[in-house]
Structure 1
Amino acid sequence: MMNHRLFEIISVFITALGKFIFYDILNQRLIFILLMFAFWSSYIFYRVRHSPDILKIWGFRVDNFLNVLKRILPFGLLSILACISIGSLQNTINLHWHIIPILILYPIFGTLQQFLLMALVAGNLQDLNRFRFHSIIVTTSILFGFLHYPYWWLVFGTFLLALFYSYIYLKVRNLYVLGIFHGWLGAIFYYTVVDKDPFIEVFGPILTTI
């Protein structure tokens, strides 16, 4: 079990390194996303075969869905209001029909991100029983924010988001609620605060060749 936890934590850091290589150097975001999904889907399948209860331990569960939703909904609504307010002040609101497929697809990617950061980093650190509760939250949040460097609005926003999400996850593990809110808030954040279009950033290279 110890070997699994260490392997998972190290693999998350390697995945984070791959993000910087494929996103920031090679500009191949879609390839990175597909490779990440392929690797981690295979790993999840492997772990489930050997430990059938691991999905619930990680937080792939629906029995506490409504309970977690009630905890996160007020925060989510305040976050949306904050994004719109900041976007209005900056004049960076750029709503486009592209937000519709992003609102559909990004929660899937968001759930995978929450799985990597919350289940495999925060969850494993908690299960090791060697780290204080607040240190796990801060460590996970710093890593999550760092993954969005060099976009400082995203670094700051995701750091704050991870502080709250880490606390919720370590109390009541549920990745589905976190993934959905991560995806929707992320999409709104992109199209209001940072004036970016993730649809073009991911699918642009494909569209230009059609």
Structure 2
Amino acid sequence: MKLNTRLFEISAVASTAFGKFIFYDLLDQRLIFIILMFAFWGIYVFKRIKNSPQILKHWGFRLDNFSLILRRVVPFGILSVLTCIIIGYTQGTINIHWHILPILALYPLFGTLQQFLLMALVAGNLQDSGKLNERTIILISSTLFALLHYPYWWLVIGTFILAIFYSYIYLKSRNLYVLGIFHGWLGAIFYYTVVGLDPFDEVFGVLGL
């Protein structure tokens, strides 16, 4: 991959992160941001595929190692869910609502996109450059991922720890499907237990749902 392409992708991810703070934190227009983000990156991915069909597998959109990576992720996922429940119960923030069902269905899509941006386009491009060692790449990716969840400090701490695991798995095997599903489901459980917020209401509340 050309250096200019790597720089563009990393810059575009940074711009997306900046847009998150504008639309989420300043304008309170989460749904609009999500729609725009999926549209922009959907078009970009489509164009990259036309020019380089093999790029999908390189990014991590692959099924050949799905079961192998799933077996590696499941134990960590179970431990993470139990930790969320214990923390939520201890601090009295468990807020289970029927909204968790559509969130569990939708969040893996959003989770896969986030993993694509942070893992494939940041960690993957840094790895492809050959200029940084694995530990440095993991630290950079984890820090960026955590900062995206500011100002919710539970999310900043939790996502930093998780991103270390995500990055390690990704750099070894490059599978976005497993990480996307894991990220989506665990993120939903984290919101409804540790944080005590309802992401469905935050995103779709403007529609009166």
TM-score normalised by length of structure 2:
0.99
The match for 2:43 is 42
Q: Which residue of 2 aligns with 1:124?
A: 125
Alignment of 1:145-160 (within 5 A): 145-160=146-161
Q: What is aligned with 2:166?
A: 165
Aligned to 1:196: 197
Q: Whole-Å Cα distance in 2 between the matches of residues 182 and 109 of structure 1?
A: 9
Q: Deviation at 1:82?
A: 0.1
Letter in 1 for 2:170: Y
Q: Which one-letter code corresponds to 2:183 in the other structure? A: H
The DSSP-based 3-state class of the residue aligned with 1:192 is: helix
CA distance in 2, matches of 1:206, 1:24: 19
How many pairs are equivalent? Answer: 208
Query: Structure 1, residues 81-102: CA drift from partner, whole Å, max 9, x if none?
Result: 0000001101111100000000
What does 1:129-140 correspond to in 2, within 5 Å? Answer: 129-140=130-141
- Pairwise CA distance, 1:29: 0.2
The runs of 5 or more residues in structure 1 that have no matched partner are none
The residue number in structure 2 matching 1:97 is 98
The percent identity for this pair of structures is 70
3-state DSSP class of the match of 2:160? helix
Match of 1:175 in 2: 176
Aligned match of 1:114? 115
Extract structure 1 runs of 4+ deviating beyond 6 A: none
1:2, distance to aligned residue in structure 2 (A): 1.2
CA distance in 2, matches of 1:133, 1:183: 25
Amino acid of the residue matched to residue 61 of structure 2? F
User: What CA distance in whole angstroms lies between the structure 2 residues aligned with 1:27 and 1:88?
Assistant: 29
Tell me the residue number matched to 1:144.
145
Q: Deviations over 1:34-74 (max 9, x none)?
A: 00000000000000000000000000000000010011000
Q: Distance between the aligned counterparts of 1:98 and 1:119, measured in 2?
A: 30
Partner SS state of residue 193, structure 1: helix
Question: What is the aligned partner in structure 2 of residue 78 from structure 1?
Answer: 79
Root-mean-square deviation (CA, aligned residues, Å) is 0.6
Residue aligning to 1:26: 27
Q: What amino acid does structure 2 have at the position aligned with 1:160? A: I
Tell me how far 1:186 sits from its aligned partner: 0.2
Q: How far did residue 206 of structure 1 move?
A: 1.2
Rounded Cα–Cα distance in structure 2 between residues aligned with 1:37 and 1:91: 35
Segments of structure 2 that go 5 or more residues without pairing to the other structure are none
Cα offsets for 1:127-174 (capped at 9, x unmatched): 000011100000000000000000000000000000000000000000
Write the distance in 2 (CA, Å) between the matches of 1:75 and 1:174.
Answer: 16
2:59 aligned partner, one-letter code: W
- Whole-Å Cα distance in 1 between the matches of residues 63 and 200 of structure 2? 29
| Cα distance in 1 for residues equivalent to 2:160 and 2:39 | 27
Looking at structure 2, the residues matched to 36 and 93 of structure 1 have their Cα atoms a distance apart, in angstroms, of 30
**Offset at residue 3 of structure 1 (A):** 1.1
Tell me which amino acid in the other structure corresponds to 1:22.
F
Aligned partner letter, 2:187: G
Matching residue's letter, 2:194: V
Q: For the residues of structure 1 that align with 2:32 and 2:9, how far apart are their CA atoms?
A: 22
